[in-house]
Structure 1
Amino acid sequence: MKKVLTTEEWIAKRRAEAAERKKRSKPPKERKSAFVTSYRKFTEIASQAVYGSAHLDPKGYHEYLPPDLTALEIAGHARAALLASRFITPKHPEWDDVIRIPTKEEFKAWEEADKARAGVKTLKALFNGAGHVSLTLRDGKIAIKPTRYRGHGHWEGIRGQEDTVLPEDVSVEELGRAILDALDISRSA
């Protein structure tokens, strides 16, 4: 006869199974990540700390630039941000400080700072006409992914939109044009 587990026993069993799966799973492939967000009044380019997910890196590259960057300028900053990105494993001493979901207060502070930088009072005004592109460097290739504004300061993928994939040693001009094209796709999605 099969024993019926109590709720506590069932939870303990599921946690043990999850821990065992985690032990057997392979760590994610090493990569670098950055983003470019172009608002009407400024452009933000930043590197990210990555493991399974990507998070703003407080020790990384983070610049606020004019909104009308040329292909050469945007590519130079984007490449610098990608190179500054860090792959942080769970054993890294900064893991708990970097690879985490920001608090509501941190999101609010970022939004308020961006609204002040743009000279607007609402998120709707801040994100009106904005575009966002994620950059990922892995295995010698740069993937450029435009996203669309979802609302409440969040971005999401664009259905049916393929990433632009370029070799890591792509020319600065070609990288910049690809980023600017992806920003245009993001704005119009």
Structure 2
Amino acid sequence: MTVTRPIRPDAVLIQAVIAGALSFAHLHDIAEAAGQHGWKAWAYPVSVDLLLVAAWHRLRSLRTTQGPTRAAWTWFAVALAASLGANVATAGLLDLSAVPAWLRILVAGWPALAFLGGTLLVHTPGALPDPAPRAEDHPAPVSTAPTPAEPLPAPEPAPALPPAALPDVPSALVDHARKVAADHHARTGTAIDNDTLRTRLGVPAPLADAIAAQLA
């Protein structure tokens, strides 16, 4: 179901339309009195109003980006002066049947002035980006983490038993141990150590040391 919203008149919008129409007509009358006839006389108020709107729009965008607004304010003032001047001149202060030469010059030169203003408004640079921060502006933070303690020295290996204290090893067990050591070297590329030999053979540590001594 479509809900139709009632149309409510906006007093501000109505006032803006009336003021714009009156200013448009005054500018047309001034241009026509200054010798611009036909479509030319209608183009002048369009040019003034467009420059006014463009300058105001540029002002709003520059405020958002924190850019320089001097040029935009200048062209806004120029367009506003042209619009106000036409409104005042048509209020009986100027004889439209005998327009002075200076006003004819202003009206004839307005297109070039409006073109220059519109071009400058379009190409006005915005806010400049912030420069890249330098390393000296942001020094490296000082670390407060505790310094790690120096590692303790590795314990010295226990001295091997002298050959006289090593137990006797059967030759069959020595041959089997030699095959296990050869297989370990073929797979890893390194000689088998006593702990690995003891684990593979399943013998006590003294017997493994005695076997390793005979394999050496």
**TM-score, normalized by the shorter chain, greater than 0.5:** no
Greater per-residue strand proportion: 1
Q: Identify the structure with bigger relative contact order (alpha carbons < 8 Å, sequence gap 6+).
A: 1
Structure with more helix by fraction: 2
- State the TM-score, normalizing by the size of structure 2: 0.18
State the TM-score, normalizing by the size of structure 1: 0.20
